[in-house]
């Protein structure tokens, strides 16, 4: 499909000459002489041109007025280039404020105009791809994406719809690991008023403190050893959109203070930087901890908690809404059928019984993993009950019979009798016991960071003594 261009020019000779020039270059070119004709062309539903090349002053008005009307509708992503014989400063300032790609004074050399138009079409195509991706996410993440027929699930959907309809500045989503906090955050972003803006996510437990500060606020070249260039932080990248801070309870105390200042001032300063950078960001924070208890214990700043908890949303555990299994399981089966080219069509009664008796300590995430395993190892149309593997105790009171320990070595079974998650839990629990529940020593022995290990301890309910 050829690149498309709309020329708005009341000087018929110039308009025709430009149309002929770009047509020879393989463009699909339309030429109109009035703003009324241009607006009718742009709004009649045909494919939008990538670039609009327009005279500034036309017989029926100023082209900037048309651009302003169209910019109010997010469907229009074409780039505008203005040509004017006057070159008035107020018009050029207004054009750039409205997002025009460029503002050129007549007469303009054709070679220069060609370069500007080529750059504008590249920008327009990038904007169109972003718009299409955003629209796809908007369709995917609605309140109905939170599945379930239970009263608890209906209540969550109702709250999500109400929150998404208002311009909140910050909120806290709480709930156990695997209850769908990330899904809720995406629903709130893509169903809300910032859906056209970016959604930037970070897990505060996944990075050591030194990297976390740089990731959140960015850094300038030379700010620290290894900072070879400027880096835009996630708060800056999320400008006009949403920043999702998962596991915010793991954020170190000094970064909590810096985050609070950035939220209050609506501005950040990169590491090693001198100037403040304004940011317009909606904050969604999530935690599987009870942040109010953390505040009471002094582990989380009270002022940051109160600033974030403009709205609070608590997600129910799966064990509290087991009737929702009948909605969740078929969806996951279909998803993994498509990914693995399998043909699972039915779930035996024994499988339903086992799933409804299970306590689901890992919640919906655990259910998804269980269904993925069953579908991957299926050999027919029935979900294989043997691969559910739901009999293991979530607390792992002691070592399973087929686990052996020799000095600093653990021997774990690979015969399907022990789940991967249980292996992970058992390795961490054993290491913690060997090091007297010293998290730093255990993290060193496992070759991981303290933040990552703390996240796992919280996830598996392994209490340090």
Q: Are residues 227 and 88 in the same domain?
A: no
pLDDT tens track for 184-235 = 999 999 998 888 888 999 999 888 887 899 999 988 887 787 777 778 889 9
Local structure of 170: helix, strand or coil: strand
**49 and 78 co-located in one domain:** yes
Helix (H) or strand (E) holding 61: strand 61-62
Q: Are residues 128 and 58 in the same domain?
A: yes
| Cβ(227)–Cβ(272) below 8 Å | yes
Identify the burial level of 217 via C-beta atoms within 10 angstroms of its C-beta, where 0-12 means exposed, 13-18 middle and 19 or more buried: buried
424 with 279, same domain: the answer is no
Last residue of a domain, one of 316, 334, 366: 316
Q: Are residues 336 and 284 in the same domain?
A: no
This prediction has a pTM of 0.61
Domain shared by 327 and 240, yes or no: no
In a shared domain, residues 163 and 301: yes
User: Do 258 and 299 belong together in one domain?
Assistant: yes
Cis check: omega of the bond before 413, within 30 degrees of 0: no
Domains held by the chain: number? 4
- Radius of gyration (C-alpha) of the chain in whole angstroms: 29
349-404 per-position pLDDT tens digit: 999 999 998 889 889 999 999 999 999 999 999 999 999 988 544 444 444 545 66
Residues (pLDDT < 50) of the chain are 392-399, 401, 465
Look at residue 397 in the predicted model and tell me its pLDDT: 42
Same structural domain for residues 162 and 132? no
For residue 440, the enclosing domain spans 395-465
Question: Which single residue is written with the structure tokens 């629209």?
Answer: 135
Domain finish residue from 345, 371, 391: 391
CATH number of the domain enclosing 223:
3.40.50.300
On whether the CB atoms of residues 142 and 322 are closer than 8 A, the answer is no
Same domain, 352 and 403: no
Q: What is the pLDDT of residue 425?
A: 84
In this structure, are 217 and 357 located in the same domain? no
> Cα 82 vs. chain centroid, distance in angstroms?
35
Cβ proximity of 302 and 260 under 8 Å: no
Model pLDDT, residue 393: 41
Q: What is the pLDDT of residue 134?
A: 53
Where residue 426 sits, what CATH number does that domain have?
1.10.10.60
- pLDDT at position 343: 92
d(CA 334, CA 328): 10
First to last CA, the chain: 66
CA distance 40 to 305: 51
Q: What is the CATH number of the domain that holds 360?
A: 1.10.8.60
Last residue of a domain, one of 287, 316, 345: 316
Q: Which helix (H) or strand (E) holds 431?
A: helix 420-434
Kindly state whether residues 149 and 194 are assigned to the same domain. Answer: yes
């Amino acid at each position: 499909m050829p690149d498309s261009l709309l020329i708005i020019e009341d000087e018929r000779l110039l308009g025709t000459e430009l149309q002929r020039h770009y047509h020879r270059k393989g463009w699909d070119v339309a030429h109109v002489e009035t703003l009324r004709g241009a607006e009718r062309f742009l709004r009649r539903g045909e494919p939008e041109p990538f670039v609009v090349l327009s005279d500034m002053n036309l017989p029926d008005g100023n082209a900037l007025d048309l651009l302003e009307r169209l910019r109010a509708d997010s469907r229009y992503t074409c780039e505008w280039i203005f040509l004017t014989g006057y070159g008035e400063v107020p018009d050029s300032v207004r054009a750039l404020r409205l997002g025009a790609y460029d503002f050129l004074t007549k007469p303009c050399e054709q070679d220069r105009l060609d370069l500007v138009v080529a750059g504008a079409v590249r920008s327009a195509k990038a904007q169109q791809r972003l718009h299409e991706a955003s629209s796809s996410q908007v369709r995917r993440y609605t309140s109905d994406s939170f599945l379930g027929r239970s009263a608890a699930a209906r209540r969550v959907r109702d709250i999500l719809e109400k929150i998404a309809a208002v311009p909140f500045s910050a909120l806290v989503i709480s709930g156990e690991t695997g209850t769908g906090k990330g899904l809720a955050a995406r629903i709130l972003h893509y169903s809300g008023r910032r859906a056209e803006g970016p959604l930037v996510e970070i897990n505060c437990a996944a990075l050591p403190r030194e990297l976390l500060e740089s990731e959140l606020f960015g850094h300038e070249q030379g700010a620290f050893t290894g900072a070879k260039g400027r880096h835009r932080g996630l708060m800056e990248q999320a400008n006009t959109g949403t920043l999702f801070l998962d596991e915010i309870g793991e954020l170190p105390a000094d970064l909590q203070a810096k985050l609070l200042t950035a939220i209050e001032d609506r501005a950040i300063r990169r590491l090693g930087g001198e100037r403040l950078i304004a940011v317009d960001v909606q904050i969604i924070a999530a935690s599987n901890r009870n942040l109010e208890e953390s505040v009471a214990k002094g582990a989380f700043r009270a002022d940051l908690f109160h600033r974030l908890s403009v709205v609070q949303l608590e997600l129910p555990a799966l064990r509290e809404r087991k009737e929702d299994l009948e909605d969740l399981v078929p969806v996951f089966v279909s998803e993994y059928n498509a990914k693995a080219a399998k043909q699972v069509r039915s779930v035996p009664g024994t499988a339903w019984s086992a799933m409804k008796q299970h306590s689901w300590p890992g919640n919906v995430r655990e259910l998804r993993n269980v269904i993925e395993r069953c579908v991957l190892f299926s050999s027919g149309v029935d979900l294989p009950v043997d691969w559910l593997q739901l009999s293991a105790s979530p607390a792992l009171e002691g070592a399973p019979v087929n686990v052996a320990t020799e000095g600093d070595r653990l021997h774990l079974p690979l015969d399907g009798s022990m789940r991967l998650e249980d292996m992970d839990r058992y390795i961490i629990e054993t290491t913690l016991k060997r090091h007297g529940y010293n998290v730093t020593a255990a993290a060193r022995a496992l070759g991981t960071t303290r933040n990552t290990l703390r996240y796992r301890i919280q996830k598996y309910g392994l209490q340090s003594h």
